[in-house]
A and B are shown apart, each in its own frame.
Chain A
Amino acid sequence: MTLVAPVAGERLLGRTLRRARDWAPAAVVLVLSLALWQGLVAALEIERFLLPRPTQILKAFWEQRDTLWSAGLFTFREALGGFAIGCTAAILAALVLARWRRLGGALMPYAIAANAVPIIAFAPITNQWFGLLNPLSKMVIAAILCFFPVLVNTLRGLTSVRPSSIELMRSYAAGELEIFRRVRIPNSLPYVFSALKVASVLAMIGAVVGEFFGGSQEALGVQIRSATALFQFETAWAAILVASLLGIAFYLVIALVERLTMGWHPSTRTAD
């Protein structure tokens, strides 16, 4: 009982070509905007501290690739740690709140309010709590950033189940636990994954911004700040490029896991 039927070679080829055709417009836009950027910066003689040319950024990226990547990975580890802590805590909390709805009803307004708080403003405070150089100070801010959207979405996924599908389970003599296992949790997966994708972005933001307020010299956020202070704007931009690439990769990995675990879902399937 496989979810995805084996695909014949020629269908795979057709699919790849179709994919390429789908992506072509986006690639064209990327190349054109980079060219436009390069051209405008040169034509308008924009100072490099305002906006370096893409070629200068790429040059800086290439020359300092080793330090930049190791800084990137340092920061990414913090983001990943925060993501893991925050999302795990949020999913567990959502399970508890969905099981004991009274508790959920009492706490949810605060969770929704907390979701609207600019939590990143607490970064200097977590730096104080855990120590500037301790990666945990960045993980905690990333974790808190991830926590609320994942909590709110997971809870919605666990509870937005049609009453008739619960009644059906009860008619099979299912208890509360079995209803969770067989209906609520599978029903929540699309919600959980869309929250995890948001959280992956938030975790990177949390880690980098946390580092702006101080941290190890190895960290990407710290390097962006010191490069700017030393007028090495190309380096700062190259570091931002690294942060972006890591953020996008993180997002894509989650999207891939989503696709693999939810092959059944209409949204992850093409019409064939």
Chain B
Amino acid sequence: MSGAAAVSIRRVSKTFAAGDVVALQEIDLDIRPREFVSLIGPSGCGKSTLLRIVGDLIRPSSGEIVVNGKSAHEARLDRDYGIVFQDAVLYDWRTVARNIALPLEMAGWDRARRAERVREMLELVELTGFESRHPWQLSGGMQQRVAIARALSFSPALLLMDEPFGALDEMTRERLNAELLRIWRETGCTVLFVTHSIAEAVFLSTRVVVMSPRPGRIAEIVEIDLAQPRTGDTREDPRFFELVTEVREALHGGSDRGSPRLRVAE
């Protein structure tokens, strides 16, 4: 089935030479096109490492990644990834508009096309009017929206997000969650999302991948069958609470429906 998958992770392991840390052990995961998959797990269980391996920012010690039928390396050179980190990583010397245009400049878009695209993206993240500001003149939430606009500007097939809202307050986070889902529906990209918030993972995702630490591996995968599109009401849905509980139990490894693999991990 890997031909149909947007991302196919095959027996990926990663051992860091420094400290001999087994960050990931034999990870197997297929992500279908247009899926929204969240990785959740205690800190140090290898979520960021897995995301970086998928994005070809680090190499796995063993195993293979196939992205849209290509190797991760080819996918990176084809600019298939839009990446958003926990801190927005905006370039202070560029205005908001020129930060968003950066990947477009690098892909060789001409000026007029870039300007048009930047305008669209600013509209998408509701920052019209802020184009000539500099990053340090924006709030944390606005900076993160610029980072999202930049990641989406060149319509990457795959959006990789590493705790993008981790540093934001709860209200901003919920608003950006809703915005992200709207963008996801409108652009039809595939998302791999790292979070340590159970509620966030359940609210956003089509599937939640629960990881366990030392060595980092997949403990359980929870299908999130909540109706689309998700709204404020979704958070009140009894099914939402059931799923939150299910993910929480998987996280604590205390579920009696636990997979055999999870028992081994115990």
The interface of chain A, by Cβ under 8 A from chain B, is 1-3, 5, 162, 164-165, 167-168, 170-174, 178, 182-183, 186-187, 189, 262, 264-266
Contact = CB atoms under 8 A, between A and B. Distances in A.
B97 A1 contact: yes
Contact of A264 (B52, B83, B93): B93
Given A171-B83, A172-B103, A172-B106, A165 B89 contact: yes
A264 B94 contact: yes
Most chain B beta-carbon contacts within 10 A, residue among A3, A5, A167, A174: A167
A183 B102 CA distance: 11
A136 B89 CA distance: 46
B98 A1 contact: yes
B17 interface: no
Nearest to B82: A171
Contact of A162 (B52, B89, B102): B89
Main secondary structure of the interface of A (DSSP, over half): helix
A183 B94 CA distance: 10
Contacts of B57: 167, 170-171
Contact of B77 (A173, A178, A182): A173
A185 to B, nearest CB: 10
Given A172-B106, A173-B79, A5 B89 contact: no
Interface of B: 52, 55, 57, 76-79, 81-83, 85, 87, 89, 91-95, 97-98, 102-103, 106-107, 132, 134, 136
9 contacts: A1-B132, A3-B95, A164-B89, A167-B52, A167-B83, A173-B77, A173-B79, A186-B93, A264-B95
A172 B79 CA distance: 6
Contacts of B92: 264-266
A179 B85 CA distance: 18
Contacts of B106: 172-174, 178, 182
A167 B136 CA distance: 21
Given A164-B89, A167-B57, A172-B79, A264 B102 contact: no
Given A1-B98, A172-B103, A186 B91 contact: yes
B134 to A, nearest CB: 5
Nearest to B83: A171
Given A171-B57, A266-B136, A165 B102 contact: no
Contacts of A2: 132
Nearest to A266: B136
Contacts of B107: 172
A171 B103 CA distance: 9
B237 to A, nearest CB: 36
Contact of A165 (B76, B91, B97): B91
A167 B102 CA distance: 14
B108 to A, nearest CB: 11
Contacts of B79: 171-173
A170 B93 contact: no
Contacts of B98: 1
- Enumerate the 4 nearest inter-chain pairs by beta-carbon distance, A residue then B residue, closest first: A186-B93, A264-B93, A171-B83, A172-B106
B89 A172 contact: no
Most chain B beta-carbon contacts within 10 A, residue among A162, A164, A168: A168
Given A167-B57, A178-B106, A182-B102, A173 B76 contact: yes
Nearest to A2: B132
Contacts of A265: 92-93
A1 B100 CA distance: 13
A1 B95 contact: yes
